[in-house]
């Protein structure tokens, strides 16, 4: 960080461990590593840098904790993670949370620094995971342990052993996963926590929606499950908005029956044709949380974003109970 900030502000930078934890809760003390940063030639240019030691906090939680630390110590507080996904950086900027990623980005509005030093490479179509690799990654994220036996994936996912083997190689090539061998079994691992891994993967995961249109309400069948905002509303305080949204596996519905135009939101519903079974990972009557979130990728609504943040916080804390199938 010293070299990075020195090059930006053209001044010497002093960094030292910060150990004055008075008026801070044990939770905040144990959650971050604290350093005091001083820009030598700029008067009163000091701030606290906090680096998460374990799981990455959600943005609302981070904002609240940084505000508490700033009030207790009387210094600006800057978030200093090892890396940031484009979506996470967008969220921090939206909430005006100061951050530094060494040799990449710095956002210090209290010092007038709005520089992105190294542009993150945009994720293009070739970077998006194949569907077998995506479902394998999702299965790993839902696994109760920080490992997944490949033979479990072959048994559970709707693909051949050869397709799963290719999916494993695809995940290994990202340098986020690795495979170990135990006797005759191959096991998928990651050195990242589930929350960190999801943040790294989310821009490479595609929406499950293959196509969507509208159907008359009398044509809704039991094979169709609530989707989109309506599924999210089942697990949050989000209000439902017409038309109601449903999902079905695309192979179980004749796409020619979809109507292109919405005529009456009270008499019609939106039907999403998904690339995989909407309840593949869910043992509830709505899709799993990651699938719901991916289906909402192109929905830019602050209410939805807040509900998603709260939902994923519960998922990483293991509060989803019996929602997810056991592998």
pLDDT of 249 strictly over 70: yes
DSSP code of residue 182: E
pLDDT for the residue 45: 85
Q: What is the pLDDT of residues 28-72, one digit of tens each?
A: 999 999 999 998 877 778 999 999 987 777 788 899 999 999 999
Helix residue ranges, H only, 114-273: 131-142, 150-156, 161-172, 194-201, 228-233
Inter-residue contact 167 to 136 (CB < 8 Å)? yes
Instruction: For residue 81, list its beta bridge partners.
Output: none
Q: What is the pLDDT of residues 157-208, one digit of tens each?
A: 999 999 999 999 999 998 899 999 988 899 999 988 888 899 889 889 999 9
Q: What is the mean pLDDT of residues 264-284?
A: 97
State how far the Cα of 24 lies from the Cα of 1, in Å rounded to an integer: 25
Question: How many C-beta atoms lie closer than 10 Å to residue 270's C-beta?
Answer: 21
* 3-class secondary-structure state, position 295: helix
Q: What percent of the chain has pLDDT over 70?
A: 94
Give the alpha-carbon dihedral of 137, 141, 147, 152, to 10 degrees: -60
Count Cβ neighbours within 10 Å for each residue of 73-100 and write b for 16 or more, e otherwise.
beebbbbbbeebbeebbebbeeeebbbb
Of residues 203 and 294, more confidently modeled: 294
pLDDT for the residue 210: 96
State how far the Cα of 116 lies from the Cα of 51, in Å rounded to an integer: 19
Backbone CA torsion sign across 175, 176, 181, 184: negative
CA atoms within 13 Å, Cβ hemisphere of 130: 13
Residue 45, CA distances (Å) to 3, 8, 125 in order: 16, 14, 43
Among 220, 212, 192, 298, smallest CA distance to 260 is for 212
Helix residue ranges, H only, 45-122: 59-73, 86-94
Quote the mean pLDDT of the chain. 89
Among 120, 92, 85, 127, smallest CA distance to 104 is for 120
Tokens encoding 242: 């017409």
pLDDT of 154 strictly over 60: yes
Q: What is the pLDDT of residues 71-127, one digit of tens each?
A: 999 999 999 988 877 767 878 888 899 999 888 888 888 887 665 544 444 445 557
State how far the Cα of 261 lies from the Cα of 251, in Å rounded to an integer: 22
Instruction: For residue 226, list its beta bridge partners.
Output: 246
For the CA atoms of the chain, what is the radius of gyration?
23
pLDDT for the residue 40: 84
pLDDT for the residue 58: 79
Residue 262, CA distances (Å) to 254, 270, 300 in order: 18, 8, 21
pTM listed for this prediction: 0.67
Q: What is the pLDDT of residues 225-238, one digit of tens each?
A: 999 999 999 998 88
- Checking phi first, is residue 210 left (phi over 0); if not, alpha (psi -120 to 50) or beta? alpha
């Amino acid at each position: 960080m010293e070299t990075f900030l020195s090059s930006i502000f053209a001044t010497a930078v002093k960094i030292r461990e910060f150990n004055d934890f008075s008026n801070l809760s044990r939770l905040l003390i144990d959650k971050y590593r604290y350093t005091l940063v001083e820009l030598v030639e700029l008067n009163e240019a000091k701030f606290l840098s906090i680096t998460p030691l374990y799981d990455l906090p959600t943005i609302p939680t981070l904002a609240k904790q940084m505000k508490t630390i700033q009030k207790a110590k009387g210094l600006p507080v800057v978030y200093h993670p090892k890396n940031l996904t484009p979506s996470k950086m967008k969220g921090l900027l939206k909430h005006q949370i100061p951050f530094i990623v060494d040799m990449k980005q710095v956002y210090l509005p209290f010092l007038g620094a709005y520089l992105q030093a190294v542009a993150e490479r945009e994720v293009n179509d070739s970077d998006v995971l194949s569907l077998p690799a995506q479902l394998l990654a999702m299965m790993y994220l839902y696994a109760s342990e920080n490992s997944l036996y490949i033979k479990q994936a072959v048994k559970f996912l709707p693909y051949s052993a050869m397709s799963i083997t290719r999916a494993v190689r695809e995940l290994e090539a990202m340098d986020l996963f690795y495979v170990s061998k135990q006797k005759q079994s191959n096991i998928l691992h990651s050195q990242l926590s589930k929350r960190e891994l999801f943040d790294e993967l989310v821009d490479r995961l595609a929406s499950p929606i293959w196509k969507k249109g509208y159907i008359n309400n009398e044509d809704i069948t039991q094979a169709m499950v609530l989707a989109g905002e309506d599924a999210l509303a089942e697990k949050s305080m989000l209000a439902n908005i017409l038309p109601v949204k449903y999902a079905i596996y695309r192979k179980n519905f004749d796409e020619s029956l979809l109507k292109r135009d919405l005529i009456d939101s009270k008499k019609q519903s939106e039907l999403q044709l998904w690339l995989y079974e909407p309840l593949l990972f869910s043992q509830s009557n709505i899709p799993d949380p990651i699938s719901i979130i991916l289906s909402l990728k192109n929905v830019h609504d602050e209410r939805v974003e807040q509900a998603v943040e709260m939902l994923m916080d519960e998922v990483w804390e293991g509060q989803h109970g019996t929602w997810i199938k056991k592998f």
